[in-house]
Amino acid sequence: MDFEAIASMDEALTAHKTAKALLNIEIGIPEMSCFFKEQSTGLSCRIRPDFLPGGNIIVDYKTTENASPSEFQRSCAKYGYDIQAGFYCLGMELLTGVIHKFVFIAQEKKPPYEVAVYEASADFIDTGRSKAIRLLQLLAECRKTGIYPGYPDEIQTIDMPSWAKAA
């Protein structure tokens, strides 16, 4: 990505009133590393929120091909953004004793670099938190046993997906 594109993205981002308010550097903290111990596993963990604007909100900036609600929802599922949101909210709650909201600022990678802001629902965060804890428990078990899951050590059969079979 070149300087001109980045400048145009910044211009579109700062033109979005809600995004601009959430990313106000005068009242918030960018990229603060936060360390905590997850209770069920005892694992030491680190989170690094993109921005903490105060008011018990965690802001995460994502670039995307399409920031529309339905397409960004697909990206959330595909890339595990629920796990990130749940894990970050868990960490901040353990550190502060306060439940935090998780807000995504989604910006399209191509002109006109549209911006949308989404707050993760309580269900989104709870689902992600549960997944994150299960993954931490798996990691703790792997570290304990020295056995890490991987692909089977055998020949597997693979076929074309059904959508690709149509000529």
pLDDT tens, position by position, 58-78: 999 999 999 999 999 999 999
Enter the pTM of the model.
Answer: 0.89
Q: What is the pLDDT of residue 163?
A: 86
SS3 164: helix
| pLDDT tier, 1 (very low <50, low <70, confident <90, very high otherwise) | low
Strand blocks (E) in 32-126? 34-37, 44-47, 51-52, 57-64, 101-108, 115-119
**What is the rounded CA–CA span in Å between residue 116 and residue 118?**
7
pLDDT for residue 111 is more than 90 = yes
Q: What is the mean pLDDT of residues 131-156?
A: 95
Q: What is the pLDDT of residue 167?
A: 67
**What is the rounded CA–CA span in Å between residue 53 and residue 35?**
18
